[in-house]
Structure 1
């Protein structure tokens, strides 16, 4: 009788563990898909069209941007970055090639990291974008970038 009860108890515990893993996996998958949507419909579109309002909504206020472009250090506040986007001719308006590609997305609880490749003008950028889920919405809280010669 004890063996039967212990077996039943272990079965229930294992079922509960598996249910928790499935739920967590679905949540991570949903969050990854939400970030894919943000990257494709907001980030890449905003860069291509030069749409500062679209990009501004994606960033958390106070976001900082760091990296290097052709070996030169790059450091800007969100405001400086958006001003640069606003004052350049967009890839769309210039007729230049633009390609945005998602390389990877890692989600852990309410934080995520996306690695993307953006080809525009003569640049081949690799961006590491950090996201944080605040009030149920994924926002970018950091951006690091580098230009890689092909």
Structure 2
């Protein structure tokens, strides 16, 4: 009987009073939709058309790009990358297929990441794009990429 009273007495204390409070991560469906629109209407479209004006609108001016292509390390500033996209034959004008898809988007407060796959020319790129919401706009602040052979 004493054991039952002791157990009942212990359970009468709220367990949460000693629990550590955690800040909840704020994810908003609206933000995810905004990022999807940025990716599709500026990033993918800019790459497909070779439209540097669209890309300039989505890349933060000091964004950096890192990765590897065919095992060779890759590094460019956003300015160098956009210039290279503008100076090559665009996928649209190449006559070769361009397939781009969003694999995932994760948003927490004013930052987000997107995992993308782009198949163009003879490449199968996987990209991890980092966004930051600056002055109300989602901008690419970092891009990492690799080419995966099928």
The TM-score normalised by the length of structure 2 is 0.82
Q: Which residue of 1 aligns with 2:19?
A: none
Measure the CA separation in 2 of the matches of 1:95 and 1:132.
34
Q: Deviations over 1:89-125 (max 9, x none)?
A: 0010111110110000000110000000000000000
Please give the alpha-carbon distance, in whole angstroms, between the structure 1 residues aligned to 2:39 and 2:117: 11
SS in 2 for 1:32: helix
Match of 1:141 in 2: 141
Cα distance in 2, alignment partners of residues 67 and 100 from structure 1: 18
What are the within-5 Å matches in structure 2 for residues 35-46 of structure 1? 35-46=35-46
Q: Distance in 1 between matches of 2:57 and 2:34?
A: 15
Aligned-pair distance for 1:82? Answer: 1.1
1:75 aligned partner: 75
For the residue of structure 2 that corresponds to 1:45, the secondary structure is: helix
The aligned counterpart of 1:131 is 131
**Does the residue aligned with 1:89 lie in a helix, a strand or coil?**
coil
Structure 2 CA distance for aligned equivalents of residues 45 and 138 of structure 1 = 16
**Alignment root-mean-square deviation, CA:** 1.1
Aligned pairs, number: 126
Task: Provide the rounded CA distance (Å) in 2 between the counterparts of 1:42 and 1:86.
Answer: 14
Where does structure 2 lack aligned partners over 5 or more consecutive residues?
Answer: 1-23
Task: Pick the structure with more helix per residue.
Answer: 1
Report the equivalent of 1:11. Answer: none
Dislocated runs of 4+, deviation >2 Å: none
